[in-house]
Amino acid sequence: MDNELNVTYITFDGHVEVQKYRYLYFVIMFTAYILIICSNSTIVCIIVINKSLHEPMYIFIAALLINSLLYSTAIYPKLLIDFLSEKQIISYSGCLFQGFIYYTLASSEFFLLSVMAYDRYVSICKPLKYPTIMRKTTVKMFLILAWILPACQISGGTLLNANRKLCNFILKGIICNSTVQNLHCVSLTVLNIYGLVVLVSTVPLPVLFILFTYTRILIITYRSSREVRRKAAQTCLPHLLVLINFSCLTTFDVLLARLETNVPKTVRLFMSLQMILYHPLSNPIIYGLKMKEIYKHLKRLFSEDKLN
């Protein structure tokens, strides 16, 4: 690779024996991508088609699953191409763009989970005010902010990185994430502070807000009847499972950049695959099986397919 190419392109060094197992990797990840598309799209279509599900809670679930589809599409096509290529490379501008999409959609996930927690809080703790608070305009505003606000936050760091000089052109990963910071010649204090502010606003703050709302819900339902507690558990448990799942995976992603020299390549690959494989597949399973109304329509759909 000549000097000009080194300036422009970055090599992914996170693959484990990709030359030997390229076709196995490709088949596994291609199958996973198809499953992600089919499972998420099926539940989104069920929510769109059935008017009984045109409520804020289900609309936010649909938005969350659409977010998973976009998230996967930002990663899988490039990853599948790399498996079949002799060299796993990407342009620096392409790497920044992938990182921008990756973190924007990850931030959107936390925002949507926060909105869903707020929706459950109003529904359970202030049921009489629910129709006036969660109006159609409010839902639309939340959905717009869920994608625009994270995009604005992440774009600042991406623009600051755009013209920075690279001293290393080998990325110890399979996708462009926070490990890109380790390629730059000099660490910028301004960028580190900005990154910290964005990280706090997109992860800890939403998580604390979600925990606060569910604590309030727990207190209210504890004082209520068994039927109220059962209904609250049916709608809140899936959201909590997704939150715990995604928070753990996000922590892994942050640790990858901090433990660069201490993590074996196989462990790094496994942790990366958890983020891009497990989470987009688990979301439709959790909501499809745990949400009673969605499960009822899913069951009806597959029953009709068997009869036909």
Question: Kindly report the CA angle at 141 between 240 and 288, in degrees rounded to 5?
Answer: 35
CA angle 39, 116, 243 (to 5 degrees): 65
pLDDT of residue 306: 55
**What are the residues facing 30 on neighbouring strands?**
none
pLDDT the model gives residue 258:
60
pLDDT score, position 177? 81
Number of domains in the chain: 1
CATH number, position 245:
1.20.1070.10
- What is the signed CA dihedral for 87, 92, 94, 97, rounded to 10 degrees? 140
| Model pLDDT, residue 283 | 84
Residue 28, pLDDT score = 92
Distance separating alpha carbons of residues 240 and 250, to the nearest angstrom: 15
- Mean pLDDT per 10-residue interval, the chain, length 308 residues: 55 86 92 94 92 90 93 93 90 91 91 91 88 92 93 88 83 84 79 80 85 86 75 76 78 65 73 80 81 80 63
Domain range for 17 is 3-307
Tell me the C-alpha distance between 268 and 250, whole Å: 14
Q: What is the pLDDT of residue 3?
A: 44
Q: What is the pLDDT of residue 6?
A: 43
Say which residues have a Cβ less than 8 Å from residue 270's Cβ, sequence separation at least 6: none
Cβ(244)–Cβ(214) under 8 Å?
no
How far is residue 81's CA from residue 167's CA, in Å, rounded to a whole number?
Answer: 26
